[in-house]
């Protein structure tokens, strides 16, 4: 609060929570076609997402409403009062008593937002913004108040798992804060208090030794502020810098930490019910000179060719992707990581069926091209957005020509980039790869019912003459 002078009178004006405002305003927009599983929990730190909202203009309306609430302290009733008419005009609001999902005459499903979901959107995003800002303030004052105590409300609405953390005290650099910093669930009201050495002595509190057996709610197994901000180590004393640097606060600076981060990312996505590999992810050097990268689903391995692995390590150490080559290296990393999400590729089909192999790789590759920038941002690494965008048009691998054919087919069918992202995300993360071909024909025939093509869709990507025949049919 700050005093303000007005004709000799002194009044109290609210001081905007700049860290919370910055946290939310710097988020991008991330389309979520089906559920939160296509953007792992930590990605919500970087991109405001409303599950099942796939229209960019609608998502922007919701984002603006939440941004205004963060900046101006808009109460819930006013937030809903202003946003509901916009959603109603666009046909995206389901009044009380009506079903949120309706099957239209053409067989498509219309999904709308309900009043209770607006409550959840409001509370979760404001709480995340506030707590991320609070985390940053506490981190800057950690040399003076190094002890952090979890504080649950402990009333009849407090979830047992949250209550299990109440009163526990850990140092600010304890790894538990990577997972247990609020909010740790939808509509979570928990907070963390910072204590000095004197506070600990006066209160008789002791440092907690073991973490609780309870877990954060599914999808909240991360610290928004820790993911968003990597601290400026130059602002701390040498001792504090050593502590912060050793713990690294969840931001990877080498491939060992990167492997741990990717393992947590995959496991977080699996919490939504998605399939994925089970073994810990390990990023290694590829010894086969014919491969840019390779993934082994059952062992958790991601193997990257030596020069690109060196480029990844350079970016991790510096915290910056400074060249297109480094961006290309990360795209290969994310491509191989994508093979650890969803179901395992089917062998021996992969070896003997060109169509299956081609389509399985291209779905994953296009997904990786769209998601590379998002993941780099989640690593806490700065990058040039233009370099990430270039990946959509070109990446130096043997898949380039088939990717161009795939995207040309989608455009000829009237499927633009936003729907392309939704399509490859749904297939790569939620559909068995043996069903990709049937799904692609369904999508194309929905756009053009008279389409004559048949057989495995992957063959139209691998064979030039088949591709041209399909394009002629789509453009007829």
pLDDT for position 327: 95
pLDDT for position 82: 77
DSSP 8-state assignment for residue 120? H
What are the φ/ψ torsions at residue 79 (nearest 5 degrees)? -60, -50
pLDDT for position 355: 94
Please list the ranges in the chain whose pLDDT falls under 50.
Answer: 1-15, 36, 40, 229-233, 235-236, 247-249
Q: What angle do CA 273, 279, 284 make, to 5 degrees?
A: 125
Indicate the domain borders of the chain. Answer: 2-121, 141-249, 255-475
Q: Render pLDDT for 281-294 as a digit per residue (tens, 0 to 9).
A: 999 999 988 889 99
pLDDT for position 1: 33
Cα distance between residue 112 and residue 90, in whole Å: 10
Contact between residue 214 and residue 160 where contact means Cβ atoms under 8 Å apart: yes
Tell me how far CA of residue 393 lies from CA of 92, 272, 404, 460, 467, in angstroms: 33, 31, 8, 19, 18
pLDDT for position 443: 94
Quick one: CA dihedral 1, 227, 313, 401, positive or negative? negative
pLDDT for position 43: 56
Contact between residue 120 and residue 128 where contact means Cβ atoms under 8 Å apart: no
Number of H helices, E strands in the chain: 20, 14
pLDDT for position 75: 79
pLDDT for position 292: 92
Q: Render pLDDT for 413-428 as a digit per residue (tens, 0 to 9).
A: 999 887 888 899 889 9
Tell me how far CA of residue 251 lies from CA of 16, 95, 177, 320, in angstroms: 28, 43, 13, 12
Q: Render pLDDT for 161-217 as a digit per residue (tens, 0 to 9).
A: 999 999 999 988 787 888 888 888 888 889 999 999 999 999 999 998 887 888 888
* Token pair belonging to 330: 């990360």
Contact between residue 354 and residue 458 where contact means Cβ atoms under 8 Å apart: yes
């Amino acid at each position: 609060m700050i005093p303000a002078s007005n004709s000799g009178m002194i009044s109290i004006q609210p001081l905007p929570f700049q860290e919370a405002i910055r946290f939310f305003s710097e988020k991008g927009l991330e389309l979520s076609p089906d559920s939160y599983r296509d953007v792992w929990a930590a990605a919500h730190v970087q991109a405001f997402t409303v599950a099942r909202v796939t229209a960019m203009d609608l998502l922007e309306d919701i984002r603006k409403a939440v941004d205004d609430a963060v900046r101006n302290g808009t109460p819930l009733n006013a937030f809903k009062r202003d946003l509901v008419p916009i959603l109603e005009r666009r046909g995206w609001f389901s009044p009380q008593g009506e079903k949120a999902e309706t099957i239209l005459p053409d067989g498509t499903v219309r999904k709308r937002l309900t009043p209770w979901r607006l409550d959840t959107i409001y509370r979760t995003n404001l709480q995340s913004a506030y707590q991320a800002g609070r985390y940053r303030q506490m981190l800057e004052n950690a040399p003076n108040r190094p002890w952090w105590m979890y504080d649950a409300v402990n009333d009849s609405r407090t979830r047992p798992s949250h209550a299990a953390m109440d009163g526990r005290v850990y140092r600010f650099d304890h790894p538990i804060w990577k997972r247990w910093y609020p909010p740790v669930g939808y509509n979570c009201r928990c907070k963390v208090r910072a204590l000095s050495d004197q506070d600990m002595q006066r209160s008789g509190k002791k440092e907690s030794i073991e973490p609780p057996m309870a877990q954060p709610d599914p999808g909240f197994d991360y610290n928004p502020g820790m993911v968003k901000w990597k601290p400026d180590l130059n602002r701390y004393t040498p001792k504090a810098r050593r502590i912060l640097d050793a713990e690294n606060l969840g931001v990877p600076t080498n491939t060992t930490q990167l492997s741990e981060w990717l393992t947590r990312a995959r496991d977080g996505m699996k919490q939504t019910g998605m399939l994925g590999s089970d073994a810990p992810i390990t990023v290694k050097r590829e010894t086969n000179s014919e491969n840019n990268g390779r993934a082994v689903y059952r062992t958790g391995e991601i193997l990257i060719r030596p020069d690109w692995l060196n480029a990844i390590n350079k970016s991790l150490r510096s915290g910056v992707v400074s060249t297109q080559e480094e961006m290309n290296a990360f795209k290969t990393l994310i491509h191989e990581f994508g093979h650890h999400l969803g179901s395992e590729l089917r062998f021996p089909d992969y070896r003997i069926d060109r169509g299956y192999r081609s389509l399985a790789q291209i779905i994953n590759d296009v997904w990786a091209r769209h998601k590379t920038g998002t993941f780099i941002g989640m690593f806490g690494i700065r990058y040039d957005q233009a370099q990430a965008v270039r990946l959509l048009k070109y990446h130096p691998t043997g898949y380039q020509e088939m990717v161009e054919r795939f995207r040309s087919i989608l455009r000829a069918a009237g499927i633009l980039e936003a729907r392309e992202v939704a399509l490859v995300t749904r297939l790569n993360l939620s559909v068995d790869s043996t069903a990709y071909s049937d799904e692609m024909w369904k999508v194309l025939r929905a756009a053009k019912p008279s389409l004559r093509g048949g057989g495995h869709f992957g063959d139209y990507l691998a064979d030039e003459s088949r591709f041209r025949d399909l394009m002629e049919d789509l453009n007829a």
